[in-house]
Amino acid sequence: MSFHPQMAYGAAFHKSSRALEDEGPAFVYTPENRARFDEIVTRYPPDRRRSAVLPALYLAQDQEGYITANAIRHVAELLGITRADVEDVVSFYTMFYTRPVGTFVLQVCRTLPCAVNGAERVTESLVERLGIKPGETDPTRTFTLLEVECLGACDRAPVVMVNDAWHECQKPEDVGKLIDDLRARGDAALSGCHHVVERKG
């Protein structure tokens, strides 16, 4: 395995083309998420309502697990923008998934500082441990493995992000314990050398 700028991201989860297929019943926020959305948009001037698209999409993804075409339509309608506007945002940011992912999404940074500190070997160790390749989810839908660009903690390379938690200074021999801990203790294993992203209202 080698790092290459043209290497595809987890294409199975991050669709870059427009016009996602409609699927299932219409998406609407839960009452709790609608209340959060209503509060979030108050942070922006009325004529800049569209600026709330990122937190609006995070709410949709937290609710459904990934971004559906119906969720894109709902967000577009609430913000008064087009579906294409929302799809462009979804396709630009790799943190939005357009297909179901596992309970734990492991994102290995492959950008230079992490690469020169052994990220490739960390990925190989995860591939061996999980039996899946980058861009895949295991059959139990517990783990999804992705390779991504800089996660913003370059001084603690190599970095593996598990859901919203940074696990820093990872070595190939560390990730086996990380996987075992996640299997045994679930979210409680997301502790220690990590931070939690504060993104909810």
| Chain residues in the site for ligand FES (CB under 6 A) | 109, 111, 113-114, 150-154, 157, 159
Burial (CB count within 10 angstroms: exposed 0-12, middle 13-18, buried 19+), residue 32: exposed
Distance CA 169, CA 162 (A): 14
Nearer to ligand FES, 68 or 117 (CB): 117
Residue 123 CB, shortest distance to ligand FES, in Å, is 12
When the beta carbons of 157 and 179 are compared against ligand FES, the nearer one is 157
The CB-of-184 to ligand FES minimum distance in angstroms stands at 27
Q: Are 149 and 110 in contact, with CB atoms under 8 Å apart? A: yes
**Residue 47's CB: how many other CB atoms inside 10 A?**
7
- The CA distance from 101 to 12, in Å, is 9
Q: Which residue, 67 or 175, has its beta carbon nearer to ligand FES?
A: 175
The token duo for 84 is 């294409």
Residue 111 Cβ vs ligand FES, minimum distance, rounded to whole Å: 4
CB of 196 to ligand FES, least distance (A): 16
**In this structure, what DSSP letter does residue 94 have?**
T
| Phi, psi dihedral angles at 33 (to 5 degrees) | -70, -30
Q: Which is nearer to ligand FES, 81 or 150 (CB)?
A: 150
The pair of three-digit structure tokens given for residue 97, joined into one six-digit string: 């998934």
Give 35 or 116: the residue with its C-beta nearer to ligand FES: 116
User: Least distance to ligand FES from the beta carbon of 55, Å?
Assistant: 23
Q: What letters, b where the CB count within 10 A reaches 16 and e where it falls short, cover 66-102?
A: ebbbbbbbbbbebbebebeebbebbbeebbbbbbebb
Shortest spacing between CB 75 and ligand FES, in angstroms = 29
